[in-house]
Each structure stands twice: as structure tokens, then as C-alpha cells.
Amino acid sequence: MIKLYNTATRTREDFIPNHPDIVKMYTCGPTVYHFAHIGNLRSYIMEDILEKSLRYHGYNVKRVMNITDVGHLASDADTGEDKMLKGAKRENKSVMEIAKFYTDAFFEDCRKLNIKRPDVVEPATNCIDDYIHIIETLIEKGYAYAAGGNIYFDVSKLKQYYIFNDFSEDDLEVGVREGVTEDSNKKNKNDFVLWFTKSKFEDQALKWDSPWGVGYPGWHIECSGISMKHLGEDLDIHCGGIDNAFPHHTNEIAQSEAYLGHKWCNYWMHVHHLNTNSGKMSKSKGEFLTVSLLEEKGYDPLVYRLFCLQSHYRKNLVFSWENLDNAVVTYNKLIAKIAALKPGEGEVDGAAFDELKAKFLEALGNDLNTALAVTAVYDVLKAKTNDTTKLAVLDDFDKVLGLDLIKKAEAKRKELAAAAPKTGEFTVICESGEPDAEVEAQIRARQDAKKAKNFAEADRIRDELKAKGVEIIDIAGGAKYKRL
């Protein structure tokens, strides 16, 4: 049984899907106006872990993700510049070129981080007719109105609206908070745009005909439309970063349930933010942290994946290069330990396998306790069972962890085998102090003397080195030396 924290009820609940044979999962996808930063990717790593955990627990999953290539304005509250237009202007390209480039870049980052591609990936611009149909129905049902050329959702028509925020309705009344510019077309402060027309955004690059004039959809409607198009009228799990909870997900629930006339999604999962020491992660200020930047600095992207797995998704996580360096040490040690296991040693012990797997399943089922799931890897290494069983269990865990444990360990084994001395070769190892070419040449000369049975010469060289403060220790296939 999987337990998941549900933001909608603010409790940890047993996960029970609507249909026993399939879990319907929806993920808010990226706004493709720039590269994803590693904060965005923390959300996608954890959502990938959720999907893989569900599959590991035996569920079939159908997962859908949108690509926001239209409609997301600089502010989630429908104000400011259009993000796609902003990207196109910045790079002197068309909106479609920007969308294609950054969609490809996003999936390339995902590939490097072992994030599985969702079963359905749908660009928002593919589903305009679906949004128009939903908006028409909302108008017919009295949930939406036209004002100033745009179509708005009327939140006052709902019995319940504020599902994901802790403010009371009074706190959010129009004009109560200072410094908030209000859209004078809105009847209520939290009303949101379903459809923009060109009367408001003359320079909008992508626009479509609609019953309300030429224009384009609001951001929130795309997720409701795409989810219903591919997953039907009910949804098991909807996920996104915590900033999506309000207003985006609140508005998705409002419009979807008003349209459907019944409950839409049962479980809401939100990944908390990755921050830097100076605060919020940004694409414009300070260091723009991307997967490419990690690679440029010599980090394996999977080290970042491990870094994310070491903390719980419902806690903020602080990124620093020092923290990432610690993850490098952990990852390298882990791979070295797995590389030391000998493949093909004995048969898989089924009972031991099941026992180790049970612990891992329990950790994941406990609201995705990935830190504990990583600890389960160490339990496997310490377990009293043969290496074949250990390797089989680790391979199985990696279906969820996605750390390439077996592949990297195999590569490490090959690397060690290549570096190991060939039969008959004489290796000289410096055990303390700096390696010294002259000393090493003398040690080799001593070896040659021994081979030629000139033991007097061999002893003379040993004594000469001793006088220099260097001690030689004979080992299999060579000699070690240390400074006394």
C-alpha cells in the first residue's frame, strides 16, 4: 500500500486509484521559453520517482504532461508579459522556434537525469478546440463571463474555491492587499482569464479564432483541457511544484469541476522548492543553474538526481556546490562498493531478494521516503547473501532510483581491470609522500638485480634507499615504498 500526502486534504492518505487497473496521473509540464533550471528539474525528478514507484508497486500508470507553449504570463495571476513572447524577443526568434528548441532541451535534460518521458506529452497549442469547448460550456452554465474582450471564470459562483491556500476569502477580497494591480474587468479578485482576445495583447504571436474573437487561451485552462482529453473525466494524481498549488491548481479545480459537475482529481502532490543560499532560484538573476552548467563544471547529472533523492520532496532543499560535492563523494563510494561485488557468484536467493525488496517498497510507500530508499541500497550491500542476489536486488531498485547503479559499477570494474597490472608486470606504488621518479627507478633496478640473482646489488640498493629515508615493502606483483 502506498501512502501519499495529499495537499487537497493536508493529510497523508492511503492511495486508492479510481480504477483498479490503471492510475491516471497528470503532471504540469514546463513553460518552454528558456532552459529548465535544476529547481524545475527537482520537481520532475520527484514526479518521475512517483510514477516509477507506482509501477514498482504493481500499478499500470498512464501519465500525461503538457508543454506550455502559449498563455503563461509573467505573473501566475494573468498579468505582465507573455513568457513565450518574452523568450522569442530575447533571442530574436519566432515563438514556435523558441518552443521547439526549449522543448527539445528539456527532454535532453530529462534524459541525462534518467527522467522517463511521460506516456503522453501534449503541447498546449495542439488542443485549442478542447479549451474552446470547455469555455463555451462554462459560459452556458453561468461560471464564466465576457469583459473587456476577455473571458473570465467567476469564482463567486463556486461553493468552495480556496482549496490550496491558507487565506480566508475576506483576506483575498479585491483591493484589500496593497500593491496589487487589479484587472478592472474582473468581478472578483480571484477571477481568472480563460480566453484572451487580441484587443488586450496586440503583439501576441500565436492566436486562434474563437466564438469570442481572435485570441489565445489562458494558462490554467490548458491543463484541464489536456488532462480531460487524454485521461477522461477523472484523475487520480495531479502533480507539480508547490508554486503551482495556488493559483494554477486551484483554478484548474475550479474550472474542471464546474465544467464536469463532479469531483475531478483525488490526490494532489506538490514538490517543494530547491533554493540557493541567497533564496529563490532564478532564470535571470545570479547563476542560472542548468544541467549543462553542472556538466561544464564536471558533475555527472545523476549526482544531482542522488542529491534530490537524499531529501524528502515536501521539504525545501538548499543547493550549494559544497552540498553537491558531498553527493559526488556518496555516489562514487556507492558505485565503488557495488563494483566490488562479484557478478555470477551463486544463484539469486529468492527469499533474501524478497526481504530486501520489502524494505525498499515500504520506504517508497511511505510518502516517497527516497532518503530511506537510498539507505536500503546500503542494507543490500551489508546483507548476508551472495553477490549475485545483491546485484539482482540493486538492479531492481534502480528501476525506481534511476542512478545507473549497475551500469556505472560495471564501467568501474572494467576501469579497475584495465588499470590492474598484467601478469609479469612489476608495479611500484608510492604509499606516503610525493611519488619520486628517481626512487622508483632505483626500486626497478633492484628488481632487475633480484631477477638476475644479483642479491648483493639488490641489498645495496635497498640500503641506499633506506639511507635516503625510503623503505621498500615487497608486495605481490611489485613493491610499495614509503618515507620513514
Q: Residue 408 corresponds to which cell in the numbers above?
A: 556505472
Select from 15, 23, 30, 237 the one that contacts ligand AMP (CB under 6 A): 30
Q: What are the b/e assignments for 367-399, b being 16+ CB within 10 Å?
A: bbbbebbbebbeebeebebbebbbbbbbebbbe
Query: Is residue 243 within the footprint of ligand AMP (CB under 6 A)?
Result: yes
Nearest to 194 by CA among 156, 146, 129, 238: 146
Query: Is residue 43 within the footprint of ligand AMP (CB under 6 A)?
Result: yes
User: 151 and 145 in contact (C-beta within 8 Å)?
Assistant: yes
Residue 480, phi then psi, degrees to nearest 5:
-105, 155
14-43 binders of Zn ion (CB under 5 A)? 28
Select from 6, 40, 190, 442 the one that contacts ligand AMP (CB under 6 A): 40
Select from 66, 197, 244, 311 the one that contacts ligand AMP (CB under 6 A): 244
Task: Give the nearest distance from C-beta 7 to Zn ion in angstroms.
Answer: 14
CA–CA gap between residue 115 and residue 49 (Å, rounded) = 8
Select from 17, 217, 240, 402 the one that contacts ligand AMP (CB under 6 A): 240
What residues form DSSP beta bridges with 241?
271
Cβ atoms < 10 Å from Cβ of 223: 27
**CA dist list (Å): 197 to 222, 348, 439:** 16, 64, 81
- Residue 243's binding partner among ligand AMP, Zn ion, none (Cβ under 5 to 8 angstroms by kind) is ligand AMP
Query: Is residue 42 within the footprint of ligand AMP (CB under 6 A)?
Result: yes
Contacts of 267 (CB under 8 A, 6+ apart): 4, 6, 8, 13, 15, 236, 237, 238
CA–CA gap between residue 468 and residue 484 (Å, rounded) = 9
Q: Which amino acid is at 269?
A: M
- Which C-beta is closer to ligand AMP: that of 319 or that of 397? 319
Select from 31, 150, 224, 266 the one that contacts ligand AMP (CB under 6 A): 31
**What number of chain residues touch ligand AMP (CB under 6 A)?**
16
Query: Is residue 28 within the footprint of ligand AMP (CB under 6 A)?
Result: yes
259-318 binders of ligand AMP (CB under 6 A)? 271, 273-274, 281
- Which C-beta is closer to ligand AMP: that of 276 or that of 330? 276
Stretch that binds ligand AMP, among 38-46, 171-179, 331-339, 373-381 (CB under 6 A): 38-46
- Residue 30's binding partner among Zn ion, ligand AMP, none (Cβ under 5 to 8 angstroms by kind) is ligand AMP
**What number of chain residues touch Zn ion (CB under 5 A)?**
2
- Which C-beta is closer to ligand AMP: that of 26 or that of 212? 26
